[in-house]
Chain A
């Protein structure tokens, strides 16, 4: 027997809420399976989701959340891993631009922005899943969440130009070491996720730029070529992946 649409909807929102609150995936699954079993029994006797959950789904979700411990493994392992991955991209980009160079403001700013974005996403997802806001509010939150990363990076660049803070510039040895570090991160991510993407994506993003940089073309031609390769490369890669996926699933 299938669950009613309202019940499925509630289960889905509970999952999002608990995940955005940093709870363990296995525990979330256990709880939702148990609730599904209960909803089956309740619906068979003609009861609805309100009889089970009560008038305030938000309160109910919070009750669960209070009793579940934070997934420390995720917070202290996965999030730093993502951060190191992002850092590797950033550093490779710097090397391509002629060497790693960063100011104190950037060194502090990037980690702060990273945590700020995680905070916004966690808050936004929990708010949308528990409070069921009006459509326009929901879209407003998506808009803010979508704009926040770009906006804060632009702000950082702006402030970095406005105020000069002490700057570190890597020499050749530093740049080579940084490059090796970034390459090791990409390879490590590929081995860990058993996917080629962490290696292929940076290659597609940075190798064309590097090769174009070696040519004698004019600056504007270089710029156009680089930006089109950066857009087209990953796009083609994802299309190929998508086709493969579709073939193997049918």
Chain B
């Protein structure tokens, strides 16, 4: 697995978590990621992931007209399947992160 693939999987999990906090759109997700220190993520890279997550049935989208006018904005919402996937991701992440921590502690 290449490092970018590992990051992709983690990023998908983080996006699920962000969307689970309430309906949101692409730019807002990137801002939240940045606030949490994900500055290595290229802004545009979340869209192919979101496309995949929608194909998997984890998220639903809807177009909403902005009050300020202009083009419609695409909003994302978690599906039941997405909730399940988020829980799965949390479990996987716990295992990975605690193993890595244990390993590094031993070394250090």
Contacts and interface: CB of A to CB of B under 8 A. Distances in A.
A60 B44 CA distance: 8
A33 B74 contact: yes
A41 B27 contact: yes
Interface residues of A, number: 22
Given A54-B42, A54-B44, A54-B45, A67 B52 contact: yes
Contacts of B48: 60, 63-64, 66-67
A53 B71 CA distance: 21
Given A42-B27, A64-B51, A68-B51, A36 B71 contact: yes
A18 to B, nearest CB: 12
Contact of A38 (B44, B51, B52, B70): B44
Most buried by A among B30, B47, B74: B47
B36 interface: no
Interface in A65-111: 66-68
Interface in A11-49: 30-31, 33-38, 40-42, 47
Given A37-B74, A54-B42, A67-B52, A31 B47 contact: yes
A51 B43 contact: yes
B42 A38 contact: no
A217 interface: no
B32 interface: no
B19 to A, nearest CB: 15
Nearest to B42: A54
Contacts of B51: 31, 64, 67-68
A38 B71 contact: no
Interface in A175-226: none
A78 B42 CA distance: 37
B27 A37 contact: yes
The dominant DSSP class at the B interface is helix
Contacts, number: 53
Nearest to B29: A38
B90 interface: no
A64 B47 contact: yes
Interface string B18-58: 00000001110010000000000011110110011001000
Nearest to B27: A41
A37 B43 contact: no
A33 B71 contact: yes
A52 interface: yes
Given A64-B51, A67-B52, A67-B55, A34 B26 contact: yes
Nearest to B8: A63
B47 A35 contact: yes
Given A31-B47, A53-B44, A63-B48, 17 more contacts: A31-B51, A33-B74, A34-B74, A37-B27, A37-B71, A37-B73, A38-B27, A42-B43, A51-B43, A52-B42, A52-B44, A53-B42, A60-B44, A64-B47, A64-B51, A67-B51, A67-B55
Interface of B: 25-27, 30, 42-45, 47-48, 51-52, 55, 70-74
